[in-house]
Structure 1
Amino acid sequence: MVARVFLHIGLPKTGTTYLQGILWENKERLRDEGVVLPGRGHREHLWAALDVQERKHLERRDPRAPGSWERLCAELDATPGGTGVVTHEFFCGAGPAQARRAIERLAPAEVHVVVTARHAAGMLAAGWQEMVKNGSRTDLHAAAAADTRSEFGWRTWDLAGVLERWGDVVPPERLHVLPVPPRTEPPDRHWRNLAGVLGLTGDYPVPEEAANPSLGAVQVELLRRVNAHLGSFSSALDRGRWIRGHLAEGHLADQAGERLALDDDLLADCRLRSRRAVDLIAERGFAVVGDVETLLVPEALAPGRDLGSVTDAELLEAATQVVGGLLEDVRELTVQRDRLREESGPAVPSTVRRAARVLRRRRGD
């Protein structure tokens, strides 16, 4: 069994994709430092996070998803000494009993919980946007008011709630809070903070560009409305690849959009949530790496657009740009398909026709 395990539980939208990308890209380099990242990829840690929460019908995501948590733990059990790292932002949605069982399963290893965090206003704006990028039609106020156990909602966005649930199952010195560094810090500061907690001393290459780009207010509202017409994109794979990946990050993120700003009532609620979290950190004595004051909503926020100010004309302009880009995609794919047909002979067209017939039957055409 590894001697120590660092369980990085999120929160969502706190640079987790960036941090996880560095870890997975350097899996062998981590092993050289005695750090094991169990499993074969990021998706297994996602499944494990849902498995810990006892989510039903995990097999619908992938036949390999059920039992993912136990498989990761078994790999850590079989590793003599050193350090294990498990990381996914959905772990933070676990309830108190689920969190306790997860920590107990990792015994006798010394378990540390790592929470990357940001203030509640940034969390709400970014979290709702992520909902929309994953196919949601829910508007911002409805998302902020919802009482849900989903990974998209205050269950995972509210730092104080997460710290209360997980802070009861490890000693305070083993619960590490890493605020997302401000833009005035070096671009690799977030990674350096995590690497310090994990005890890494090597030089790890970091990406030059941020992962998971944001959308502007106009662009995210357009996507929310388009989602109403994407009912056939019902699987997590479809939503992630086509709505989030191709449409949102592949096209809408390229548009020059203005930052989303919250209405005054949402902002007031976020200020209260952030204050409660910072007070809890001080009261419980959790280990903070960075400036805890950045977890409070600033009095003066960067300028932005509230959704009520978005006009139909702006939505139309953004939509026409997207249609143009998608048409270029279709042209490029068609050229590639035709080239493959010419190079491969008649077998490719017949295969394409058979696939098209199967697709039409599934759709009921």
Structure 2
Amino acid sequence: MARRVWVHIGTPKSGTTYLQSLWWHNREALADQRLLLPGGSADEQFRASAVVRANAGVLATMTEHQRGAWDRVVDEVAASDGDALVSQEQLVEASREDAAAALARLRGAAEEVHVVVTARDLVRQVPSAWQQRVKHGSPTTLRRFFGRLAKDDPDFNFWHHQDVPRILERWSDGLAPEHVHVVPLPRPGADRDLLWRRTCALIGIDDTGLALDAPVANETLAPAEIAFHRAVNAHFRNAHLDVALSRRVKSFMEPRLGGAAGEPIALAPDMHAWLVERGDRMVDELAAAPWDVVGDLDDLRPDPEPGAGVDPDAVPTADVLAVAEEFLAAELLARAEPPAAAARAVSHPHSSDEERGSATALGRVLRRLTGGR
């Protein structure tokens, strides 16, 4: 039986990819400190999380062996005599009943079970969460996304992932309050590794000698890239709701974007003001709760002053076209020698003939993306 098991359940876009990349990159060194990462890979822990949260769409894409991932993770924890760490941000999706069942399994495998939530202020979370939806195939504008979340419906996907007090209510069944931990993501401008140091202090990791330069593949897109991605997504009906198609869109588009320069996203004044008020209420709830806070809760209070940036729903067409042309040029160069017409199309970006050539080439890319459908 393990001594302690740490269950890091999210939230998405709160430094989870950064932390996971470091944990998995240093897996062997952490094992030397008697900290086990059960499952052997981040993919296996993702599959285990899909079982825990009973995600029918993901389960339908898994083999019978893969659907046993959660059982294998629990068995590895039970066979350990040190500590274990499970980290998967999609666990925030679990219902109260599914979370309670998962915690009950882990209580049979470890002397102590700890739940950890990393969190970030809502003004930064909303554009990031919206962008992630776009990466997974949604054509939704930021304004429309905000309109949905501003209804404050707890069943809306965003709040199920980001309302930290409600998440911890679902994930604290049978746990002592001191075993439920909130780790705020530091404010912009803080030391880059402060989130890492906070989690290390909590879990008991000595990072002396660890490799802290692991690559983190979770690119932020420039506003023009997001607009281009949304335009591509519009060719696929509800791609973000179809697990297989969403994965195809993301795996095709993501490696080809992320290199464009651009200003950061700015929220409209009404969006910013609403999120400041809602974010402050969430922090006040956390301050009144008995859970353990590692760091400063005020890091979760949004800056009352709007930041500089651009409206991602109003990117000039010329900027979107420039991203499309670079995207197509890179894709064509990565394949066989492009036809002369396509080569001319990406060489002269400003005439109407060339714009039509880019559109034709984009159509070919989209057909490849959808397997000819």
TM class by shorter chain equals 0.7 to 0.9
Match of 1:47 in 2: 47
- TM-superposed deviation, 1:158: 2.3
1:182 counterpart (156, 167, 187): 187
Q: Does 1:68 align with 2:69?
A: yes
1:237 positional shift: 6.3
The one of 125, 130, 141 equivalent to 1:128 is 130
Deviations 1:178-224 (A, max 9, x none): 11123433322221211111111242211266541211222112201
CA contact (8 A) 2:177 2:290 kept: yes
Q: Does the C-alpha gap of structure 1 residues 54 and 149 become closer, same or farther in structure 2, counting only changes over 3 Å?
A: farther
For 2:167, which of 130, 145, 162 is the aligned residue? 162
- CA distances 1:43-97 after superposition (whole Å, capped 9, x unpaired): 1111222211122254432214323222211111122x21111000001111222
Per-residue CA deviations over 1:136-168 (Å, capped at 9, x if unaligned) read 222223334166868x52210222322332245
TM value normalised by structure 2: 0.81
| Residue equivalent to 2:115 | 113
Alignment equivalent of 1:225, drawn from 219, 231, 244: 231
CA shift, 1:274, in A, is 1.4
Cα offset, 1:36, TM superposition: 0.8
Q: How many residues align?
A: 336
1:303 aligns with 2:305: no
Please tell me whether residue 192 in structure 1 is matched to residue 194 in structure 2.
Answer: no
Task: Sort the Cα spacing of 1:272 and 1:163 in 2 relative to 1 into closer, same or farther, 3 A.
Answer: farther
Change (3 A) 1:278 1:332: farther
Gaps in structure 1 of 5+ consecutive residues: 335-358
Could you tell me which of 213, 217, 221 is aligned with 1:215? 221
Structure 2 CA distance, aligned partners of 1:273 and 1:164? 18
CA–CA separation in structure 1 for the residues paired with 2:51 and 2:337? 40
1:56 maps onto 2:61 in alignment: no
Identity %: 33
Look up the SS of the partner of 2:335 in the other structure. Answer: helix
Q: What amino acid is the match of 2:88?
A: H
Aligned match of 1:89: 89
Q: Tell me the C-alpha RMSD between the 2 structures.
A: 2.9
Number of the residue aligned with 2:357: none
- Is residue 9–residue 87 contact of structure 2 (8 Å, CA) maintained in 1? yes
Q: Which amino acid counterpart does residue 20 of structure 1 have in structure 2?
A: Q
- Matched position secondary structure for 1:205: coil
Q: Structure 1 CA distance, aligned partners of 2:102 and 2:216?
A: 31
Assess if the C-alpha contact under 8 Å between 1:124 and 1:157 holds in 2.
no
CA distance in structure 2 between the aligned counterparts of 1:229 and 1:311, rounded to whole angstroms: 20
Which residue matches 1:251? 256
Cα gap change, 1:332/1:37 in structure 2, threshold over 3 Å: closer, same or farther? farther
What is aligned with 1:30? 30
Distance between the aligned counterparts of 2:48 and 2:154, measured in 1? 20
Measure how far apart 1:10 and its partner are: 0.5
TM-score, structure 1 as length reference: 0.83
Deviates more, 1:324-333 or 1:174-183: 324-333
Whether the 8 Å CA contact 1:137–1:224 is kept in 2: the answer is: yes
One-letter amino acid of the structure 2 residue matched with residue 176 of structure 1: H
Identify the residue that residue 344 of structure 1 maps to in structure 2.
none
The answer to whether 1:284 aligns with 2:289 is: yes
In the alignment, is the contact (CA less than 8 A) between 1:6 and 1:84 conserved in 2? Answer: yes
How many Å apart are 1:101 and its aligned residue? Answer: 1.5
Partner of residue 141, structure 1: 143
Matched with 1:343 is: none
Shift of 1:255: 0.4
Unaligned 5+ residue runs, structure 2?
340-366
Contact 2:183 2:198 in 1 (8 A): yes
Separation of aligned partners in 2, 1:69 and 1:363: 32
Corresponding residue of 2:352: none
